[in-house]
Amino acid sequence: MSEDGSTLARRQLGKYLRDGREGRGLTLHEAAKLIQRSASTLQRMEKGGVAQMRDVDLDALCQIYEFDADHSAAMKGLAAQGNELS
C-alpha cells in the first residue's frame, strides 16, 4: 500500500469515527474521557493523524458509538490499511 493509500484510509476512518461520535451527541472531551485518552489524541484520530491506531482504542470507540458488527469490522479494516507503512 502506498503512503497516500494509508493516509486516505486513516482519514476515512477518522471521518467515520467523528460521525459516530457526533451521532451519539458526544463532545471530543466526553468521548476521549470514556476511552481514557486526551481530547487532542482523539482529535488526531479523527483527522487521520495517528499513524498506528491502537486496537483497544478502536474497539472502545466502536462500542461507545454503538457500531454494529459489520461497521466495526469495516473500521478495523480501515485501521489495518492505515497502519501499513508505505
Kindly give the residue spans of alpha helices, DSSP state H, lying in 1-86.
3-23, 28-34, 39-46, 55-64, 69-83
Q: So what's the pLDDT on residue 85?
A: 59
Q: Distance (Å, rounded) from C-alpha 38 to C-alpha 84? A: 24
Q: What is the pLDDT of residues 18-61, one digit of tens each?
A: 999 999 999 999 999 999 999 999 999 999 998 889 999 999 99
